[in-house]
Amino acid sequence: MTFEALYEAAKAVLNPRKLSKDADAGGVGAAILSESGKVYTGVCIDTACSMGFCAEHAAAAAMITAGENRVLMMVAVGWEGNIMPPCGRCREFISQLHDDNLDAQVLVAEGKVVALRDLLPYDWRS
């Protein structure tokens, strides 16, 4: 799997929309390549009281629901097609799902891939 294909999978789930007067969804899409080779996608849900979650969380939840927890590659895409590095909460969340997820490759900008561990330089576990 290439990052181009993973990017396209994340972009394909984008669907910005208003869910209610207090919630929006679909402005960010994410795609995760798991150890089995399956791609899991998700979108963000933003709520007025900050109880929503990021697209990476949604994709990871789909992966966990399917019985997997090892991430090989991941990317998030904004509604204009821009690549978005994962926020700190997503970095930490993904890192805790499998011991080897710190080695997951993350597309953080066009042509720029880094290991998840490089996005958590002062990891509390080390």
pLDDT of 126 above 90: no
What is the pTM for the complete model shown?
A: 0.95
Inside any domain, residue 126: no
Active-site residue set: 56
Contact 101, 95 (CB under 8 A): yes
Contact 43, 12 (CB under 8 A): no
Inside any domain, residue 54: yes
Range of the domain at 106: 3-119
Contact 19, 48 (CB under 8 A): no
| CATH number for the domain that contains residue 46 | 3.40.140.10
| 54-108 residue pLDDT tens | 999 999 999 999 999 999 999 999 999 999 999 999 999 999 999 999 999 999 9
Give CA separation, 113 vs 16, 53, 57, 92, in Å. 26, 24, 20, 18
Distance CA 41, CA 63 (A): 8
Mean of pLDDT values over 6-20? 97
